Amino acid sequence: MPGTPEFIAEYQEAITGESVISRPRRSSELKRGTFHHLCVQYFKSGEYSALDVSTRNWQRRTLERICETHGDNLVSQMQPRHVRLLRDELRSTPAAANQRLKALRALFNWANEADETTVNPTLGVKRIPYATDGHHTWTDAEIAQYQARHAVGTKARLAFDLLRFIAFRREDVVRLGREHICNGRIMYRQAKNEHRNPVDIDIPLHPELAASIAATATGDKTFLVTEFCKAFTANGFGNKFKDWCRQADLPHCSAHGIRKATATTLAENAATAHEIMSITGHRTLEEVERYTKAARMRKMADAAMTKLAQTKHRSKAEQDLSHRVNQWDNSPEKPNETNDNESLWRSLGESNPCFSLERAAS
């Protein structure tokens, strides 16, 4: 009913875009101690509410899917082997399997801290290892191809320039507006972890981006708006940008790949890891060092091939020198090296005072 705490909670979730479909039953209808009841308590907790909207959404979807088949099982009887079984249900898609494990860990970490349960069956359960390069990193040729298809002044080009010259994520690009530009600088707080561990970006406005903004019709609060003059959602923008990529005959490219391309370009131009972090907003060196390491490997490979060419040239010179030495060895006018060495050794010895004393004593 309107006015009740439940109504207000659902209303807040609706305006933030959080799904309220397939919601667990009311806690009063659930049996305490079941997995379903534990999930409901977690969704009502302050720790869950403090998460980013996107994090809350995927955790809720993941846990509710487990509740569909295992919601009535008792948490006290849950063991690591059960968690492994839940993980392995999605083994064909390792990323989804690991995300399910991550959601379960978040649930039981909170439950142990809140004294909702004394067991944590996720302990000792490992992620499924798999190799992936993540989102495709745009190449210089692909960037030029997109720019040729979408000229400056179009919404598609502005979206690309925002991603390229700020290295933002989707959820940040759709929130950026004129209020974030001051005195030729972009000052913005990233959406990721903004309520727990915020990252503030303060970087110069790139001239090409400034020209793109000036040439494009933008929204009042955000630069990018839909056909209905409303701000994009992160997912909606991702889908729209994918369409623009297809129009440029780049179906394998994505918005996040431009962020990786910017970091790669910075690394290839000898930017340090900390300089890249100041643009991308990464908090640890681990992620950034992947770009710098790849750039260093590429430069070292170029240098190595240059040295290989120099080695070939030097080898020819050495062959010429060896030929001249062989000619000298076979020459009849070659001096007697043995006699010269003996005379040199004798002259050095005779100049030594100890040698003179030993000769006198003998």
pLDDT tens digits along 181-231: 999 999 998 888 777 778 888 999 999 999 999 999 999 899 999 988 899
Q: How many CB atoms neighbour CB 226 within 10 A?
A: 15
**Reported CATH class of domain 11-113:** mainly alpha
Query: Where are the domain boundaries for CATH 1.10.150 in the chain?
Result: 11-113
The β-bridge partners of 202 are 187
Is 140-291 a CATH 1.10.443.10 domain? yes
Alpha-helical runs (H) found in the chain: 5-15, 35-43, 46-49, 53-70, 80-88, 94-113, 140-149, 155-166, 170-173, 207-215, 234-247, 255-268, 273-280, 285-329, 337-350, 353-361
pLDDT tens digits along 10-26: 877 777 765 544 454 44
Sheet with 181-182: strands ordered across: 181-182, 185-189, 200-204
CA 254 to chain centre: 14
Q: Widest CA span of the chain, in angstroms?
A: 124
Average pLDDT of the chain to the nearest whole number: 82
Q: Binning pLDDT at 50, 70 and 90, where does residue 27 land? A: very low
- What's this model's pTM, rounded to 2 decimal places? 0.61
Whole-number Cα distances in Å, 185 to 50, 157, 203, 204, 210: 30, 20, 6, 4, 10
Query: Where are the domain boundaries for CATH 1.10.443.10 in the chain?
Result: 140-291
